[in-house]
Structure 1
Amino acid sequence: MAVEKKEEVKGGVPKAENKGQARTARALKKKGVATRRESQDKIRTDATHFNLDAQGRTAIKALQKYYNEQKSQSKSALFPEIDFSLHLMAVYKKAARVTPDKTSAYRKIELPFPLQSPATSTVCLIVRDLHMKDKEYNDPDVDKQAREWQEKLLIEQNITSAQITKILTRRQLEREYHTFADKRSLASAYDLFLVDNTVMKAVHDICGKEFHKAKKYPIAVKTNRPLAPQISKAFRITLMPVFKLKNRVSIKIGHLGQPLDELVKNMNECIVQLRHYCPGGTANIQSLYLQPTTSTPSLPIHASLGNI
């Protein structure tokens, strides 16, 4: 596994983006406390402890062979990104007693390669309302402001329907999708949901449960900044659950229709982040598996028999 190169400044402290970060890094170094970046660099360097690159590559090859056999025998699995998505399963020796961050039970992991193809995926963008006066707010033409957003993004950022399949405003979401059936239908209609960060809490309150059930977790974006790179990044985001009292987690790393090298690199990045976020650290990881959505077969790539 490749080791990241670090630029250094005086004192052996990793180069920071600004002076404040540099001061913080130096203070932590003086106290003997590793920064998050240094911790992750050490994990990447120490990856041979698990020898998971070779183990993972062998397991993914076997699962892809199984996938190709199933694909040739059955025509029902038309969507490999759904039917044969691949997950890294981790089992802990001891579950966390508390959720580390009360604001979120998930950690975002940015992968080297997208989880699904942007060219064949559908994207729904949920944005704030442009006009909040009663006349516009209660306009019978519920998608009028969504059309304004579409025109605005096309003119200002050259964002087309090829990148954003559907645009909804917060008020439109509230008015058109008020029953559980409507919310379930919305959650299953698109592959990826992007939400303006200014209305993320409101969207979660309106239909967060249905998104959760469908495993379609919305990604926050900033509409006042260039959207194209944010969309590209969103396709590479996977989530790691950090719920308390859970002794196993599942992290999506891609699908079996992807090239082998892409899946291996995605797996390696997930392992780096898993070892960083795992309660108790590396010593608390009992076993790791690679498992397709179909649940069969699942292949182990690491096991630890020791106690924490």
Structure 2
Amino acid sequence: MAVNDGQVAKAVAALHKFVGNQERGLLDSAEEELLHLVIALKKIPQKPRNDKPIRIPIPHPIYTTENVEVCLFVKDHKGEGHKAAKSKVREERMAGIAKVVGLSKLRTKYESHEAKRQLCNSYDLFAADERVLPSLPKLLGKSFFKKKKQPVPVRLTGKDWAAQIRKACEATYLFWSGGNSLTIKVARSGQTQQQCVENVLAAIKAAVDKVPRKWDGVQALFLKTADSVSLPIYQVLPDAPTKIE
């Protein structure tokens, strides 16, 4: 099954125009918009919710360690792991990491809903030591999941943390939410239309491969920004209901 490249290009062009019109209407707005790929499924997958994301490679990274502020969640015991991680980040001058938060501080300093919401809005990307990932959904609350800013896993058991952060920035991620649609960040409005199209096509190829029944499980594909309507780029007729004799 193939998606029409021209249809993707038209949708990307329309979203670029939409974002441009928004920016002209807001004179103080210099922020780039994210483009999202929405995959509508024919059926809700019969699989448990999984908060560990699936890495989706794209040719043109949405984030780089030079243009992104990353908040890193780390394993700690009474703050000790947190201090060591901050020291390592500072000494190695890791680009991109703007803040390090240990789990113990996440439980105390960011206990309230408002504190969680402010933390969510303060950074572009959240990464976490993969060993603490299972503990984070309960500690972070709903804000992170509503804004699709769940932390992505990085392996911090080795020495080269910078490479792990760079690897995390250079991909996008598929999260299984348990519903009948999936939303994946695929591009930035500041990227060229061709870069956006290439990212979308690469993300579709990798993501559909993870869907149960692959293309047979996909009802439709859409592109959108946070504030735009969803633009269809692929759609099939619903499966006919099974007759009961």
Corresponding position of 2:219: 286
Alignment of 1:230-269 (within 5 A): 230-244=164-178, 246-269=179-202
Report the TM-score, using the length of structure 2 for normalisation: 0.83
Structure 1 residue 165 displacement after superposition: 0.6
Of 78, 87, 100 in structure 2, the residue corresponding to residue 151 of structure 1 is 87
Report the TM-score, using the length of structure 1 for normalisation: 0.68
Structure 1 residue 175 displacement after superposition: 2.5
Change (3 A) 1:56 1:196: same
CA distance in 1 between counterparts of 2:174 and 2:152 reads: 14
Structure 1 residue 237 displacement after superposition: 3.2
Q: Does the residue aligned with 1:238 lie in a helix, a strand or coil?
A: strand
CA distance in 2 between counterparts of 1:121 and 1:252 reads: 15
How many residues align structurally?
239
CA deviations over 1:259-305 (Å, ceiling 9, x no partner)? 22221121111111232122332123232221111123x32222223
CA distance in 2 between counterparts of 1:188 and 1:182 reads: 10
Corresponding position of 1:108: 55
Q: Which runs of 5+ in 2 are unaligned?
A: 241-245
Change (3 A) 1:228 1:106: closer
Amino acid at match of 1:62: A
Of 78, 84, 87 in structure 1, the residue corresponding to residue 36 of structure 2 is 87
Change (3 A) 1:208 1:238: farther
Q: Percent identity?
A: 28
Q: Which runs of 5+ in 1 are unaligned?
A: 1-48
Of 147, 165, 168 in structure 1, the residue corresponding to residue 101 of structure 2 is 168
Mean alpha-carbon deviation: is it higher for 208-217 or for 167-176?
208-217
Amino acid at match of 1:165: A
CA distance in 2 between counterparts of 1:53 and 1:227 reads: 37
Q: Does the residue aligned with 2:131 lie in a helix, a strand or coil?
A: helix
Q: Does the residue aligned with 2:221 lie in a helix, a strand or coil?
A: strand
1:217 paired with 2:217, answer no
CA distance in 1 between counterparts of 2:175 and 2:75 reads: 28
Change (3 A) 1:216 1:276: same
Mean alpha-carbon deviation: is it higher for 199-208 or for 178-187?
199-208
Which of the pair has the greater relative contact order for Cα pairs under 8 Å at 6+ separation?
A: 2
Asked whether the 8 Å contact 2:70–2:124 carries over to 1, the reply is yes
Change (3 A) 1:122 1:304: same
Amino acid at match of 1:239: Y
CA distance in 1 between counterparts of 2:3 and 2:38 reads: 17
Amino acid at match of 1:110: P
The structure whose residues are more often strand, as a share, is 2
Corresponding position of 1:33: none
CA distance in 1 between counterparts of 2:175 and 2:82 reads: 32
Corresponding position of 2:46: 98
Structure 1 residue 105 displacement after superposition: 7.1
Asked whether the 8 Å contact 1:109–1:237 carries over to 2, the reply is yes
Structure 1 residue 89 displacement after superposition: 1.9
1:75 paired with 2:27, answer yes
Asked whether the 8 Å contact 1:105–1:243 carries over to 2, the reply is no
Asked whether the 8 Å contact 2:187–2:199 carries over to 1, the reply is yes
Larger radius of gyration: 1
Change (3 A) 1:243 1:178: closer
Structure 1 residue 69 displacement after superposition: 3.1
